[in-house]
Amino acid sequence: MPTAVALFTADLRLHDNPVLHAALRAGGEVVPLFVLDDAVRDAGFLVPNRAAFLVDCLHDLDAGLRRRGGRLVLRSGDLTEQVRRVAEEAGAAEVHLAADVSGHARTREERLRRALGAAGRELHVHDTVVTAVAPGAVTPAGKDHFAVFTPYFNRWADCALRTPLDPPRALAVPPSVGSLPIPSAASLAPGRPSPALPAGGESRGRERLAAWLDGPLDDYAQGHDDLSRDATSRLSPYLHFGCLSATETVVRARGRGGEGADAFVRQLAWRDFHHQVLAARPRAAHHDYRPRGDRWRTDPQEIEAWRAGRTGYPVVDAAMRQLAHEGWMHNRARLLAASFLTKTLYADWRTGARHFLDLLVDGDLANNQMNWQWVAGTGTDTRPNRVLNPLAQARRLDPDGAYVRRWIPELAGVPGPAVHRPWTLDAAVRRGLDYPDPVVDLDHALARFRAARGLD
C-alpha cells in the first residue's frame, strides 16, 4: 500500500489543508508529521508565548486526527534528518509540505529535496496553504513583486481563490512509525508565557472565526481603529500557526459581505502582500528594504523605557503593556509603538522587531519585519518620513482614554482625555502618580529625526 508523509509546519489544521489532502490522495496510509526543529529553537524563535500556543495546537491536531482513526507523529531534532528517517520507516514514496517564504523555509525545502531525492523519494511543495494568494502569483510588468500595496491589492482582489477543502473523514497511519509525546511548553521554551495568552488550536480558531463572522465583522470598517473598543478579530495567532486557512477565511468573509467584510479582507491582503515582498527580498527580514542612510541612536535607558511601557506617553505605554500581558497587540497600537521607537526615539527598527518577536504569539517573520520596516521608513511605505505623533494618535484612537486606563493602573483615576497628558496635571496630583515624565520632548525628537533624514 502506498504511503505518503504530510509534513505540518505553519498549517496546523485539518480543514482546508492542501498538504494533508494531497498526501491522502496518494491513495494509502499517511504519516501526519510534525518536527520540533532544532533550527527554529536555535534561532530564538521558539519563545514562551509561541511555545505555549504551539503545544495547544499540537494537542488539538492530534485529537482531531485520532477522531478520524489517525494520530500525530512527533519528532525532534534536525528536520531534514527526522523527515528522512520517518519516510524510510514508513516506506513513503512522497513527502508533502506547504510553501513558505522565509530564508529558513527555503533552506529547509532545498535540504529536504536533496535528502529525499537521494533516497528515490519525491518532495511536493504546495502553494496557497499559508497565504490566500501565492507569493509571485501576481506581479507588476517587468518586476518580481509589488512594492506598493494598493496596486497589489487591486490585482490580488481579482485572483480566483481555490475552493476550500473539507477535512478528511478518515485516515490510517502506519503502526510501525513511532512518535514522541507532545512536550510541555516549559520544556520547549523555559519562562512564563503572558498571563492572558489565548489558547491555541484549530478548534479554538474555528470557534473564534465563526463568532467573528456572526456579527462583529459587520462593524469592523467603523471600529477597527478604535483602541478602546477592541473591535478586531484577534484571529492573527490562528492564521500564523495555520490553525485557520487564509483562503477559507477570505472566502467566508466575502460570503458574509458588506463594508466590514471588505475592510477585513483588505487586511488579510496586507498579510499576503508582506509575504510576497519577503519572498522576493528574503534579506529584508534583517536588512533595510530601502536604505535611508540612518545612523540610529542607541540609548539603553530610552529603549528599556519603551519595552517596559514607561516612556511617559500613556498610549504608547498602554500598547507595550498590552503586549506583555496578552502576547498580542492591537494593529494600530503596533504601528504607534513602532513609530515612537523608530521615529521619535530614532532607534533601529530591528531592536523593536526583535522585542515584538520575543512576545507576539502571532510573531510572523514576514508581517512583523515588513511592518516594522514600513513604519521605520526603510520598507514599502510611500511616505517614509511620516511620524505618528502619540498625542494626536491618542486623540483619534482613544479619545476618552479608556484604552490607557485599562492598561496603566497608575492613571486609572485620571478622567477623560487628560489621561493622555499626565505631565500637565496639577503638581499635587502628579506626585501621587507612580508614572514617569516623558523620556523625550516630541518637538525636539521630530526635529532630530528630520535632521537625520536630511529633511531640513
Instruction: Give the model confidence (pLDDT) of 54-99 as tens digits.
Output: 999 999 999 999 999 999 999 999 999 999 999 999 999 999 999 9
CA distance 202 to 140: 35
CA distance 215 to 256: 10
Indicate whether 27 pLDDT > 80.
Answer: no
Q: Give the pLDDT of residue 375.
A: 98
φ, ψ (nearest 5 deg) of residue 97: -150, 145
Closest of 391, 352, 396 to residue 372, by C-alpha: 352
Q: Give the pLDDT of residue 264.
A: 98
Question: Could you tell me the three cell numbers for 401?
Answer: 482614554
CA distance 233 to 209: 8
- pLDDT digits 0-9 by tens, 189-245: 999 999 999 999 999 999 999 999 999 999 999 999 999 998 999 999 999 999 999
Residue 196: C-alpha distances to residues 229, 234, 323 (Å) = 18, 13, 10
Buried b (16+ CB within 10 A) or exposed e, 264-288: bbbbbbbbbbbbbbbbbbbebbeeb
Residue 53: C-alpha distances to residues 204, 205, 319 (Å) = 11, 12, 21
> How much helix, strand and coil, in percent to the nearest 5, is found in the chain?
50, 5, 40
Q: What is the mean pLDDT of residues 396-404?
A: 97
Q: Give the pLDDT of residue 2.
A: 87
Q: Going by DSSP bridges, is the β-strand pair 3-8/29-37 parallel, antiparallel, or unpaired?
A: parallel
CA distance 49 to 30: 31
φ, ψ (nearest 5 deg) of residue 73: -100, 125
Q: Give the pLDDT of residue 230.
A: 86
Chain-wide mean pLDDT for the chain?
Answer: 97
What is the biggest distance separating any 2 CA atoms in the chain, rounded to whole angstroms? 81
Q: How many residues does the chain have?
A: 456
**What percentage of the chain reaches a pLDDT higher than 70?**
100
The answer to whether the Cα torsion of 260, 266, 49, 311 is positive or negative is negative
Which residues of 64-220 form beta strands (DSSP E)? 73-77, 94-98, 122-126
